Structure 1
Amino acid sequence: MRIGAHVRSDSPLDEATSLDVDLVQLFVTDPQKWNKPVVDESLAAVRDSSVDVVVHSSYVINVASLNNRIRIPSRKALAQQATVAAELGALGMVVHGGHVRDGEDPAEGVANWRKLFERQAETGGFEVPIWIENTAGGDRAMARRFDAIARLWDAVGEFGAGFCLDTCHAWAGGEELVDVIERVKAITGRVDLVHLNNSRDEFDSARDRHANLASGSIDPEILAAVAAESGAPIILETPGEGIADDVAYLRGR
C-alpha cells in the first residue's frame, strides 16, 4: 500500500518529509481562484525529489456547468493545470465531477464532460491522466450516486478517464463502503486513487466534512479494508493535526 497525504503548507516537500509519506497531493494554484498555475520554487523542490505527486485541480472548476462563464474557463484552467502537473511528473490529476443547477438537465452536464475529452483529444489529449472524483452532495451532481457515475462513464470511459474514490464523499453521498471497491470497478473498471477520509457527519448527510480515520462516523476498520481492497495509492485528506496518526494507523495495518 502506497500512503500519501494532501499537503497544505508553503513547503510541500518539508511536509512530506515530516510525515514520511510515499506521495503527496497538492494544488498548483489557489484552489478558489482562476489564477494561471506556475511551477514555483516549492513545486520545483517536489518535482526534483523522489516523492511522487498527485495534483488536485482547483475547486472552482466545473466542466459540467451549463453556464458559459463557468464551463469555458473551467476547460481552460483544467488544461493549464494538467500542463503544470505534467511538468511536475504527476501520476495524475484529480477533478471533481461537478454539477448542474436546479432545473437543469444532468444529461447536459454529462454531455459537457464528453465534449471536454473530445475537444482535448483533437489536440493530443491531456498531458496527465484525468481522475474524476465522486462528490458528496447535490441531486444534480455528476458523480454523487453510483447510478450517476455509471451515466458519466458511459460518456467518458472510452477516453481513458480515471476514477478517484473519496470515502467521505461516498458515505455522505449515500453509498455504503463495505463493497464499494467492487461496485465502483463494476462501473468504471478501475480505481486509480483513493482519498481515504472519515466523515464528521452521518451516512447520506450530503455534507463534505472530513475527519481523521479514528474519529469520524465511519468505522476505521472499514476504511482500512477499502484501502487494502482498492490496490490503489492512498491519499489522506484528513485534518492536519491528526494526519501523522492516520499514516501510522494505515502502516500498522
Structure 2
Amino acid sequence: MRIGAHVRMDSDPIGFGEKLGADVIQMFVVDPQSWDKPAPHPRAEEIKASDIDLVVHSSYQINVASLNNRLRMPSRNAVAQQAEAAAELGAFGLVVHGGHVRSDEEMAEGFVNWRKLFERQADKGGFPVPILIENTAGGNHAMARHFDNIGRLWDAVGDFGAGFCLDTCHAWAGGEELVGIVERIKQITGRIDLVHLNSSRDAFDSGADRHANFADGTIDPQLLAEVCRTAGAPVILETPAEGVADDLAYLREHVG
C-alpha cells in the first residue's frame, strides 16, 4: 500500500515527499486556476528517477462535460496538454474532476461530451497516461457527484479505459455513505485507481467541498482507514497542511 499527500511545494516535489516519508505524491503541472500550457519542470529528471510515485491533478476550471463551447473546447485541450506533461514526469495518471452541466435536460449531453473527449483523443493515439475521473461534492447537475450518475458516465467512457479517483470528502459531502463505498463504486466502475483520503469540515450531504484533517473533520477516522485498507489503490491525502503528517501517522498505525 502506497500512501502520500498532495505536494505543497511544486518547486521541489520529491523533497516534500521525502520529508513527509511519502510513497506517492500528487502535484499540479500548471497554476490550478489558469489555462496555461504546462512548461517543462526543472526537476523532471529527479522526479522520474525517484522511488516516490507521482500522480498529477489537473487544473480546477476544466469542465469537459459543459455544453458551452468556450469552456468545453479549452477544457479538452487542457486535459491533453496536462496529460502530456504528466507523462513527461513519469506520472501514473491525470486526475480530472467530473464536471457539471446547467440543467437536468443537459445531463445526457454532458455524458456524451465526456465520451467525445476520449473518442477525439483516440483518433490521435490516445492519452499518454490514464485519465482518472474524480467524484465531486456539490451541484445538482454534476456528472460524478451521485453514484447513479457515475454509472451513466461509465456507460459512456468505461470502454475507453477511463480510471477512477475516489475522494472520501466529496463522497460524504455529496451524500454517498462511506460504509461499503469501495465495493459499491467497484460494482459501477470495476476499478479504483487512486483514493483522495480526506475528512470533511461539513455535514453529510452538505454539497460543500471543504477538506479537513482526520482529527478535526466530521468523518469517523476509522471509516477513512477502512477505505484506505480496502481500496487496493494508492492513497493521497489532500488534508490541510498543518495536519498532514498526523493524518499520515494515523493511517500507518491503523491500516495493516
- The question of a shared fold, defined as TM-score above 0.5 by the shorter chain, is answered with yes
CA distance in 1, matches of 2:34, 2:23: 29
Letter in 1 for 2:99: G
Partner of 1:165: 166
Task: Give the alignment of 1:45-60 within 5 angstroms.
Answer: 45-60=46-61
Provide the TM-score with structure 1 as the length reference.
0.98
Partner of 1:18: 19
Partner of 1:91: 92
Partner of 2:5: 5
Letter in 2 for 1:88: L
CA distance in 2, matches of 1:70, 1:129: 22
Partner of 1:65: 66
Structure 1 residue 47: deviation in Å?
A: 2.5
CA distance in 2, matches of 1:251, 1:76: 39
Please, which runs of 5 or more residues in structure 1 have no aligned partner? none
Structure 1 residue 49: deviation in Å?
A: 2.0
Structure 1 residue 45: deviation in Å?
A: 3.1
Q: Following TM superposition, where does structure 1 have runs of at least 4 consecutive aligned residues deviating by more than 6 angstroms? A: none
Percent of aligned positions that are identical: 68
Describe the SS at the equivalent of 1:94: strand
CA distance in 2, matches of 1:177, 1:70: 32
Task: Give the alignment of 1:89-238 within 5 angstroms.
Answer: 89-102=90-103, 104-238=105-239
CA distance in 2, matches of 1:28, 1:203: 32
Structure 1 residue 13: deviation in Å?
A: 1.6
Deviation string 1:141-183 (CA, Å, 9 cap, x unpaired) is 0000000000000000000001000000000000000010010
Provide the TM-score with structure 2 as the length reference.
0.96
CA distance in 1, matches of 2:191, 2:48: 27
Give the CA RMSD over aligned residues.
1.0
Which has the larger displacement, 35-44 or 239-248? 35-44
Which has the larger displacement, 48-57 or 141-150? 48-57
Describe the SS at the equivalent of 1:105: helix
Structure 1 residue 38: deviation in Å?
A: 1.6
Letter in 2 for 1:168: C
Structure 1 residue 104: deviation in Å?
A: 4.8
Please, which runs of 5 or more residues in structure 2 have no aligned partner? none
Structure 1 residue 68: deviation in Å?
A: 0.5
